[in-house]
Amino acid sequence: TTPSPAPASNKRDLRSPICCILGHVDTGKTKLLDKIRQTNVQGGEAGGITQQIGATYFPIDAIKQKTAVMADYEKQTFDVPGLLVIDTPGHESFTNLRSRGSSLCNIAILVIDIMHGLEQQTIESIRLLRDRKAPFVVALNKIDRLYDWQATPNNSFRSSFEKQPRAVQQEFQTRLDGIKVALAEQGLNSELYFQNKNMAKYVSIVPTSAVTGEGVPDLLWLLLELTQKRMSKQLMYLSHIEATILEVKVVEGFGTTIDVILSNGYLREGDRIVLCGMNGPIVTTIRALLTPQPLRELRLKSEYVHHKEVKAALGVKIAANDLEKAVSGSRLLVVGPDDDEEEMMDDVMDDLTGLLDSVDTS
């Protein structure tokens, strides 16, 4: 079949967007991830949310349930199969995740504490995002800490905001205005996401509470909206793979393994792979593809489930020989029947310079 020139009309060919979270310490990155993961949708479970290697996967049905409260305000289309959120917050991981040639992380969430405004690592994060031309949204977190905030758990922001006493609404507005000015001082135009008429020029702000879950539906809605509408080209399924090494780890029974985010394509047991090593390129063969055992099955013997084949986007652990010197943040390539292995070895080693540079400067 010929590739479709119109990605939006070809829903089946889109893969899940990948999202990273960053911001100053204590702004609520971890808590926000936890809240997004929770399945406290009234009555029913938002099923199928799975813990992966270094990431959490949200199937589209779970997102549908979690964003249902948005129906009064926004239309939603669901063209992607799900959303993959990288679990490690913080900008060290993000530096790795946006290495040269890596297309990991389609969109980032920059978390700002509404009570504290911009802090040192917020500013560093903004620089990093800008340097790497990474699209992002701002989660203006801890709105429940505004004095006298009346919480409606897991509500959409606008619905909750309408219910607030005037004084709360005024305090919100004052703090929001202050933060918009501070962002402007960093060279960023910003706007509340539902008032943002120009998403390409203005960064969208989503007010959230990681404690009450308010604004979390808005955040998920916006992530889908931005990735589906503005990045569908990047989300097309590719036959060639795009994969990034998150971590190199020794695991009992498997030796040295690498944790990888597969952003596009497939990986198979027995694939010959090329990756960047501290002392030169590594060429090896995938012995095992592993994902964590679902929680309820933890009494089983192994901590991991083995796969013959995995499909993007997901986090997966790879066991293979000779991984001891693998460099996290670098790409992983699969040797196809017509590929020149030597050329690929040169390619992956190009990553090393970029990665060492970014370590030096951060």
**Interface contacts to ligand GDP, rule CB under 6 A:** 25-31, 89, 141-142, 144-145, 209-211
212 or 234: whose CB is closer to ligand GDP?
A: 212
Spatial neighbors of 320 by CB under 8 A, at least 6 apart, are 257, 258, 273, 284, 285, 286, 287
Q: How far is the CB of 89 from ligand GDP (least distance, A)?
A: 5
87 or 144: whose CB is closer to ligand GDP?
A: 144
- In the chain, at which residue ranges do the beta strands (DSSP E only) sit? 18-23, 50-52, 55-59, 82-86, 107-113, 136-141, 190-192, 203-207, 242-251, 255-264, 266-268, 272-275, 282-285, 288-292, 304-307, 309-311, 314-319, 331-334
99 or 164: whose CB is closer to ligand GDP?
A: 164
144 or 225: whose CB is closer to ligand GDP?
A: 144
Q: How far is the CB of 192 from ligand GDP (least distance, A)?
A: 17
Residue type, 22: L
Question: Which residue blocks in 67-205 are alpha helix, DSSP H?
Answer: 91-97, 120-131, 157-162, 166-185
136-141 and 107-113 beta bridge pairing: parallel
Residue type, 266: Y
Q: Determine the straight-line distance between the first and last CA of the chain, rounded to whole angstroms.
A: 45
Q: How far is the CB of 316 from ligand GDP (least distance, A)?
A: 25
Q: How far is the CB of 51 from ligand GDP (least distance, A)?
A: 17
Q: Which residue is closest to ligand GDP by CB?
A: 28
145 or 201: whose CB is closer to ligand GDP?
A: 145
Q: How far is the CB of 226 from ligand GDP (least distance, A)?
A: 22
Q: How far is the CB of 93 from ligand GDP (least distance, A)?
A: 12
209 or 228: whose CB is closer to ligand GDP?
A: 209
